[in-house]
Amino acid sequence: MRLFLVVLGGRTAGCNIELHDVRFVVGEAIEATFPALREQWFGRRRGLHLDRYVAVERADGHRVSLRREPFAGSERLWFVNMGAYDPRQMAELHAFGLIVAGSPRAARARAKRQWLLGADQAHTDYLRAVDDCLALESVAGWHLHLSADSSAAAEPLVPDWYGYRLIDRA
């Protein structure tokens, strides 16, 4: 099984522009996750699409694996989404990624030191432990395990695929 970080795009009643959400799902291949992604989407089914995805196998100096038993380590994999502003742009700026840290506070601090440098009023919008998401929401019984791996240095998330792929129909 593989862990995927997926950026979904779509619409909901009353919105004027396309909305996006980040979801974590587990499957042998991205196509196997489509039913779960459709179920997790909060908006209209029609037009629901993938914008990009990545199989999360390494993150922040660690190898990431999935196992049935809980992880006993003290560090966790955190998904951090930061927002900021640029006075020359109408849209809010965002950067997100995965950070291995022992606490939400440590993950936030590292993200603020690394992302959106030079932007005005940088703030952390959302922080969540991915292992809690998977254990409680995505696939019961799958847990993230982290092991130090020098070849998995801190690098930005690069999508395995990006574009526009409709997944609104079964």
Which has more confidence, 165 or 138?
A: 165
**CA-to-CA separations, 112 to 39, 64, 85, 115, in angstroms, rounded:** 33, 23, 14, 6
Identify the weakest region by mean pLDDT among 91-100, 108-117, 123-132, 156-165.
Answer: 123-132
Identify the structural domains of the chain with CATH numbers, from first to last.
Answer: 2-166 (3.10.20.10)
Name, in order, each residue with C-beta under 8 angstroms of 35's C-beta and a sequence gap of 6 or more: 170
Q: What is the pTM of this model?
A: 0.87
**Nearest C-alpha neighbor of 23 from the set 46, 43, 50, 2:** 50
pLDDT in tens, 30-58: 999 999 999 999 999 999 999 999 999 99
When pLDDT is averaged across residues 95-119 and rounded to a whole number, the result is 83
Place of tokens 């042998």: 28
Quote the distance between the C-alpha of residue 50 and its chain's center.
Answer: 13
Q: What's the angle, vertex CA 109, arms to CA 107 and CA 146, rounded to 5?
A: 20
Instruction: Give CA–CA dist 57/147, Å, rounded.
Output: 11
**Residues 95/82, Cβ–Cβ less than 8 Å:** yes
